Amino acid sequence: MTDRRSFLQRLSSVPLLGPLAARTLAAKEPAEHDFLRELGVPPIINGAGAYTMMTGSLMRPEVVRAIESVSRHFVRLDELHDAVGKRIAALLGCEAAMVPSGAAAGLTLGTAACITGSNPDFIQRIPDTTGMKSEVLVQKTHRFPYDHMVRNCGIRLIEVETRQELESAINPRTALLLFLNKAEPLGRIKMEEFVQIGKQHGVPTFNDAAADVPPVENLMRPLRLGFDLIAVSGGKGIRGPQSAGLLLGRRDLIAAARMNTAPNSDTIGRSCKVNKEEMVGMMVALESFLKEDHAANMREWDRRVRAISDLLSAVPGVRTERFVPPIANQVPHLRVEWDAARIPLTPAQLMQKLRAGTPSIELVPEPERGVEIASWMLQPGEAEIVAHRIRALLTA
Ligand SMILES: *Cc1c(COP(=O)(O)O)cnc(C)c1O
C-alpha cells in the first residue's frame, strides 16, 4: 500500500526523472477500483445478447475515450445537440437526426413531435391531447411492449390488419402510422406499401428499428424507403452508450422532437435527458459501426458458435443447430437440445445451474427450444468456458 510520504517523495522526484518516468508513475497511481466485486455484483458471461437487463452491449473503447474527453468541459447543450445531429444525419444520409436517451425515448419524442409540431401550448399540455391529433394506427401484429412509449403521449393506438382498414382509419386526428421493423414478416402491409400509404395521406410513418443492426442494411432500407421517423438503440449492436439512441428523419419532426425534451423543462420528454457524454459517445459509436468490417465480425461470431457446437455435439444424446434470427439480433446463435431420456435435466434447470455457477453465465432468456446461445456479446475465451460448463452439466 502507498503511504503518503513515499507517494510525495516519488512525486517530488518526477521532474528529475523526465516525462517517461512521470508517465509510468501516473499509470500506476490510481489503482483501479473493482467496483463490481466490492458491490458483490461480479461480472457475468453474456451468452444472451444485447439485453437491457444485462446492460446491453459493451461500449467501444473509442466511445469511452470520447466520453472521458468531453466530460471535462462545459458547452451549451443545444449547440452540441445541433452539431451532433448534423454529423449523424450526414453519416447516414438522412435529413435530420438527434440523440435521445435510447430507442424507447425516441418513440416518445417522435410521437410527441407528430402531435405537437412546434406549437408551444401543445408541447406544454401533452399528454392531454384535447384538440390535438390523438390517434396512432398500427398493424395488429406490430403491437409490442415498447408501444407504451408511444401511448405515453396521450394517444389511442388503433389496430388494423389490411391496407383497406388502415386507409379508412386515417382521419384528421391521426398523428402517425407506427411500424415495428422486426415485425415486417408478420404484417400484411410491408414497408414499401406502408410508407407509400403515409405519403399518400400526408401522415408521418414511424419505424422502430431498435435492435435490428447489424446488418447495416436493416437501417439503410427504412431510411431509403422514406420513413418520416426511425428510432434505433445506441447500446445494442452499435455499441454506444446504453442510455443513448438515434432518432432519424424529417427535419421539422426532429426539430419538434427536440422541443419536447431537455433542456426544455415543461415537456413530456424532459426525463429522456441526454448530456454531452451520451451525444458524443453515440456519434463516435455510429462512426465506428459504419466503418467496421461486418463480415469479419460475423466470421468471429460463427467461429465461437462452431467452438461450442463441436464440443457439445460430441456428447451422446445432444444435438446442436446454428441459426440466425430473422431481422432483430440477426447474428449467429446456437441451439442445444438433448434427449430427455438420456439426460435428465430440463433446459430451465441447465440455465439455472449456469446462472448459479462461477462465473455466472446467462443464455438467451426465452429460448424457443432447448437452450440458445448468442455468441456476439461473448468476450475472448468465454465461448470455450460456456462450452465446457454446459458439457460438464449435461454429462454429470
Ligand atoms: C430494445 C428495444 C427498444 C428500447 O430501446 P432502448 O434503446 O433500450 O431504449 C425499443 N424497441 C425495440 C423493438 C427494442 O428491441
Q: SS3 sequence, 190-255?
A: CHHHHHHHHHHHCCCEEEECCCCCCCCHHHHHHHHHCCCEEEEECCCCCCCCCCCEEEEECHHHHH
Ligand 1 pocket, CB under 6 A: 52, 102-104, 144, 146, 208, 210-211, 233, 245
Q: What is the pLDDT of residue 30?
A: 63
Alpha-carbon gap, residue 343 to 354, rounded angstroms: 16
Residue identifier of the C-alpha nearest atom 14 of ligand 1: 210
Q: What is the pLDDT of residue 15?
A: 44
157 C-alpha to ligand 1 centroid (Å): 19
Rg (CA), the chain: 25
Residue identifier of the C-alpha nearest atom 11 of ligand 1: 210
Under a CB-based contact definition with an 8 Å cutoff, are residues 286 and 292 in contact? no
Give the mean model confidence (pLDDT) for residues 170-194: 98
Q: What is the pLDDT of residue 29?
A: 55
Rounded to the nearest 5°, which phi and psi values hold at 302?
A: -70, -35
Mutation probe of ligand 1 site: the residue of 208, 212, 327, 366 with most atoms within 8 A of C-beta = 208
* Residue 283 identity (one-letter amino acid): M
Pick the atom of ligand 1 nearest to 209's CA: 13
Q: What angle do CA 317, 352, 182 make, to 5 degrees?
A: 85
pLDDT-above-90 percentage for the chain:
91
Residue 63 clears pLDDT 60, i.e. is over it: yes
* Residue 167 identity (one-letter amino acid): E
Task: For residue 33, count CB atoms less than 10 angstroms from its CB and return exposed for 0-12, middle for 13-18, buried for 19 or more.
Answer: exposed
Residue 23 clears pLDDT 60, i.e. is over it: no
Place 328 in a pLDDT band, splitting at 50, 70 and 90: confident
Residue identifier of the C-alpha nearest atom 8 of ligand 1: 102
Mutation probe of ligand 1 site: the residue of 111, 186, 233 with most atoms within 8 A of C-beta = 233
Q: Model confidence over 65-116: pLDDT tens digits?
A: 999 999 999 999 999 999 999 999 999 999 999 999 999 999 999 999 999 9
| Spans of all domains in the chain | 75-291, 294-394
Mutation probe of ligand 1 site: the residue of 57, 146, 272 with most atoms within 8 A of C-beta = 146
Closest CA to 328 of 201, 190, 232: 232
CATH number of 75-291: 3.40.640.10
**DSSP helix/strand/coil, 261:** strand
Domain 294-394 has CATH 3.90.1150.110: yes
Pairing status of strand 318-323 against strand 229-233: unpaired
109 C-alpha to ligand 1 centroid (Å): 14
For cell 446456437, the residue is 334
What does pTM read for this prediction? 0.91
149 C-alpha to ligand 1 centroid (Å): 10
Place 382 in a pLDDT band, splitting at 50, 70 and 90: very high
Residue 8 clears pLDDT 80, i.e. is over it: no
Residue identifier of the C-alpha nearest atom 5 of ligand 1: 103
